[in-house]
Every structure is written in structure tokens, then in C-alpha cells.
Structure 1
Amino acid sequence: MPSPAALAQAQLDAYNAKDLDAFCACYAENVGVWRMPAEAPTLVGMAAFRERYASGPFAQPGVRAEVAQRIVLGDKVLDHEIVHGRGDTPEALLVVYHCSGGLISKVYFFLPG
């Protein structure tokens, strides 16, 4: 079973390689995604997750992410990410990956401002 850090890195590598199948393979079938401060997930389930990424970042060849800092705390990985290719300047955000059963089951995005 991959560690939470290995899962976070594998999904990042797949994201940057635009490998949607490898990216989705890191996530649970019932994955939930929150854009904080949302109280409920903004995206639930693999079908919605796959569609969102296929039509979003994976459809934009110039979009890539890098980790400025990673903290692993038990089954959670906190990444300070820098995303390039969505505009004139890189975008910084904090992403928390919650891992369960060898897959990422919940994702929390914290955007500045």
C-alpha cells in the first residue's frame, strides 16, 4: 500500500504528465473535493472528478504544478503548490490530501484571499 507521501507525489507526477488514468488511479472511487471554506464538497465521485480534470487542467497543456513545501502528518499530506500556466503569474495554493485505504479520499483546496 503506497504511503500518503507516495500517493501525493504520484498524483502530482501524473498531473504534470497529463496522464489522466494514472492521476485518477491515485484517488478513491468516492473521492470528495472541497474548495474551502465550503462546508460541503464541491465535487463528489470519480465520474465527476475525472470529467472536471479532463476538461480543466488536462485540457490545458501549459498547466503544471510544483510543490514548494510538503508536510506529511499521519494520513494527511499538506502541499504548498505553485501552479503555472493559468495566467501571467504563477498561482499559489495549499492542498490537503486525506488518504485512506491506499488512495486519496478527500482533497481540500485553500486559495489565497
Structure 2
Amino acid sequence: MPTPFDPAAFAQRQLDAYNARDLDRFVAEYTEDVEVYVLTNPQPTIVGREALKRHYRDNRFNLPELHAQLVNRMVFGNKVIDHELVTGVPEAPVQVAAIYEVTEQGISKVWFVRG
């Protein structure tokens, strides 16, 4: 019997990998053609899993105190909205909303909003 599609599971697995700074496990939750946006910009800032991997390798997973605490999560169909408190980055603490669009193959789009 097939397991039901669970968008929140993708968001949780990538969050767990983020906090473990496990780059391969993190990017595995995203589709090959993932697009990442900052909500105020209509153009994606990152396109593709390899670009995502490079960005997080060079700008996040090299920070030893990096941690994202999940404050709240909402799920609307295939959209997952996480409110996170991120520490261990130069501008920390930072409140972030991440909106994930999830397909059965993984997270296909992400929009970030910083508080």
C-alpha cells in the first residue's frame, strides 16, 4: 500500500539535516530544479539542487553554531509554512518564514521572508 503524500515530512527532514549540518541529506529533500526566492524579489536567487548545495556549503553549514528552531508550522495542501528562529549566523538571531512548495519528488520551491 503506498504511503500518503506528506509535505510536512519533507520540511522536517530538511530542517533536521540543516541543524545537523548534513549537506547531502539536506539537499536530498529538494528537487533537481528547485527554485529559491526572497519574497520581495520576483526572480529566484538560487536555481537547481547543485546551486543550493554550493550556497549552503559556503554560507551556512560552515558556521559551527548554526541552528534553526521551529517556532510554528502550518500546512496548506502541498505548501508548508515554517516560522523559524535562526541562530549562529552573523546577524543572529533572525526570525524567518520559509514557505515550501512540495511535490512527491521533493521541495520544488522555497520563498523566504526575514523578520
Partner of 2:36: 33
Report Cα offsets for 1:32-83 as digits up to 9, x if no partner: 0001111111110111111000001111111110110000110000000100
Question: Structure 2: which 5+ runs fail to align?
Answer: none
Letter in 1 for 2:9: A
How does the TM-score come out when normalised to structure 2? 0.92
Specify every segment of 5 or more residues in structure 1 that has no aligned partner in the other structure, as ranges. Answer: none
Amino acid at match of 1:64: H
Alignment RMSD: 1.3
Partner SS, residue 24 of structure 2:
helix
Q: 1:28 to 1:92 in 2, by over 3 A?
A: same
Match of 2:114 in 1: 111
What residue identity is the alignment partner of 1:45? G
The letter for the 2-side match of 1:109 is F
What is the SS of the residue equivalent to 1:7? helix
Is 1:100 the equivalent of 2:103? yes
The TM-score with structure 1 as length reference comes to 0.93
Identical-residue share of aligned pairs (%):
42
How many angstroms does 1:3 deviate by?
A: 1.2
- Check the 8 A contact 2:86/2:92 in 1, yes or no: no
1:71 aligns with 2:70: no
Match of 1:16 among 16, 19, 38: 19
Three-state SS of the structure 1 residue aligned to 2:69 is strand
Structure 2 residue 89 is matched with structure 1 residue 62? no
Shift of 1:101: 2.3
